[in-house]
Structure 1
């Protein structure tokens, strides 16, 4: 069987979030739904209660087996049996994420997305049959075909208590982007914005809200977005989202790496929980640690009418907890279904990692997510998301599912 080479189009968009991996690595900074997609998703949910019999589907062999090359990756065609855990995953849980990506399909996905939206009863058997009929799996490799494992990290959307007006406890501001940001490149550093009168004056009146802990502000800046449980001056409480708007054009310096250099813990121990523990034990050095990182992120406030909807990723569609993944967009185009084979962090120190093998959709990106086999797993929000995201630095193998010719 001959194997040919071809190139697939790649996608590009803005960067809008940062992984928790940026605590010890270089980092990244941080639309309306189509009615057809909403209808398709609602139809899927309505169909979940029953599983009507599905006619057997014969998997059509590809007319020509090809190696697809992206600017930073090489895709080698494989059979479905090559995907570890393929038969165990509930692929139907990734279907809403795929339909959301079809609102902004990558080049080459237009026909496949039209067929996906036309699937009337997307239960598990129907989704599996659709995937096998219309898509071809490919193993993702580096351009030189090196058989090395990649890296899977994770991120989440924090939920943080905040006040609209400052008080004795809530006194760390979150700012909108200043008007003169584009005229001054680079802008003031983090330390200057917090200490110099001229820099502080440029931010006066731009406060969105106030949080109680400077590490809460830092994690919002690292993740690129978050939810605020906001108390207004009249005592009313609201749930709003702050999303990445801009940064001060300075490079990110890892506070986790600085703490490793300070001897606080080893590189293997570096994690968000470890950083928080160090900060609690060394409150007088927290400002020193924060000022190591000159980058400063500005936000915009967004309403959150539906708390079940995730933040918008770099593809421009809402992220789905446990089914959206950030990738290097020069290795995998946005909207591409991705099969991952990795592990979850152990529940307890010294425990055994648990297998993590499932269908995801590439819907986000970031400066720390660089390379062919590199992913950032979106855990969502709520209880447990921070703990899982903060400890996740796992080996990774990846496959993509691409439309058949």
Structure 2
């Protein structure tokens, strides 16, 4: 019965993690005065982001909290009154990284410097079934001439990193935008080109970053292409132009995410839509209430989060610098929290 309550308290997510062989993690319930920096945060900003996706909760308990949030005059009181901080795997050091929405230069038709396509998902590509690899798609022009192109981009490296990020904006020469989101993939597992650069002796471990990878590939076009094709995974896109340009891209909950308030998490441990308190160490420490509104193929584990930094090159530079330790604490409805563990 206890195990059933614990699984229920995370909406069955812990059961999913156990089924995958991860085992049941250690769990502790904290007090709000144990969250470093809690008093200084902008709780109103966090509440607005929470409200952006909480209406999508199917669970009655979460839905009730969402309804209550609409009439709150004090955001901090709302979180402290209806939630409790829960830390999963407290002995594990968290890993925080950053991501962003790239902005690429492109055109609707091929020509001049615009030679690298963003493809829609081909109808024959099915979930869980391997299609052609990145090298086969690029070298054999398997998709050319089928009308699958959403846009043509001026830089093959930008296309690769857009596929890593999963969404972005294409700025056309007339100043308008095409926004694209994840549309599917070719069924091959992602391989890290950063790790491959270390293995080949191109860069040392502490020199690997998105910026350094991009710079090296552009300076070494032949070997650079071979390096990028080490990753056989290939991502297809879909147009999401219903999202206004001033809002963030769509996250895993199909709602716009917010710079420095939205994070990508592992939904096997952190419910999508839940508030998450992060304490990031490193060169620029960050203590802030975020909302779990996205996922990522590399975001695995209870102490793992990817912080959304925004759109464009500046956001990309900031996001690329982040690889920091710390801890993350999920805010769960009170009854669910206490079903998991006694208060610490």
The TM-score with structure 1 as length reference comes to: 0.74
Q: Does 1:9 align with 2:21?
A: no
**Structure 2 counterpart of 1:324, from 262, 285, 295:** 262
Q: Which has the larger radius of gyration?
A: 1
Structure 1 position 396, deviation (Å): 2.3
Distance in 2 separating the partners of 1:256 and 1:11 = 35
Partner of residue 222, structure 2: 284
Aligned counterpart, 2:284: 354
Aligned partners of 1:253 and 1:292 also within 8 Å:
yes
SS in 2 for 1:318: coil
1:226 to 143, 168, 174: 168
Contact 2:127 2:187 in 1 (8 A): no
Q: CA deviation at 1:332?
A: 0.9
The alpha-carbon deviation at position 157 of structure 1 amounts to 0.5
Which segments of 5 or more consecutive residues in structure 2 lack a partner in the other structure?
14-21, 336-344
Relative distance call for 1:187 and 1:265 in structure 2 (3 A) is same
Other structure's SS at 2:184 match: strand
Q: Secondary structure of 2:66's match?
A: helix
Matches for 1:162-241 after TM superposition, within 5 Å: 162-182=106-126, 185-196=129-140, 199-201=142-144, 204-231=146-173, 236-241=174-179
Can you list the C-alpha shifts for 1:203-259, whole angstroms capped at 9, x where unaligned?
Answer: 63211111111111011100100011024xxxx442121111111111111111111
Structure 1 alignment gaps of length 5 or more = 13-69, 345-352
User: 2:253: which partner in 1?
Assistant: 315
Alignment of 1:4-403 (within 5 A): 6-7=6-7, 8-10=9-11, 73-105=25-57, 107=59, 108-119=61-72, 121=73, 126-141=74-89, 147-182=91-126, 185-196=129-140, 199-201=142-144, 204-231=146-173, 236-303=174-241, 306-343=244-281, 353-403=283-333
Deviation at 1:11, TM superposition (A): 7.2
Partner of 1:46: none
Task: Give 3-state SS (helix, strand or coil) of 2:109's partner.
Answer: coil
Whole-angstrom CA distance in 2 between matches of 1:71 and 1:371: 11
Distance 2:111 2:130 in 1: 32
Aligned to 1:38: none
Q: CA deviation at 1:106?
A: 5.9
Instruction: Work out whether residues 71 and 330 of structure 1, in 8 Å CA contact, stay in contact via their aligned partners in 2.
Output: no
Query: Partners of 2:190 and 2:312 in 1: how far apart?
Result: 27
| Partner secondary structure for residue 137 of structure 1 | strand
Q: 1:239 and 1:72, CA in 2 relative to 1: closer, same or farther beyond 3 A?
A: farther
Q: Is the Cα contact below 8 Å between 1:313 and 1:319 reproduced in 2?
A: yes
Seen in structure 2, the aligned counterparts of structure 1 residues 178 and 11 have a Cα distance that, compared at 3 Å, is: farther
Q: Matched residues in 1 for 2:147 and 2:208: separation? A: 36
Give the secondary-structure state (helix, strand or coil) at the position aligned to 1:227: strand
TM-score by length of 2: 0.87
In the alignment, the residues of structure 2 paired with residue 282 and residue 118 of structure 1 have an alpha-carbon distance, to the nearest angstrom, of: 57
Specify which structure has the higher proportion of helix.
2
The offset of 1:140, in angstroms, is 2.6
Contact 2:191/2:230, CA 8 A, preserved across alignment: yes
* CA distance in structure 2 between the aligned counterparts of 1:131 and 1:305, rounded to whole angstroms: 29
Q: Equivalents in 2 of 1:378, 1:313: separation in Å?
A: 10
When the two chains are superposed, the root-mean-square deviation of aligned CA atoms in Å is 2.2
Q: Distance in 1 between matches of 2:10 and 2:88?
A: 15
Q: Does the 8 Å CA contact 1:10/1:329 hold for their aligned counterparts?
A: no
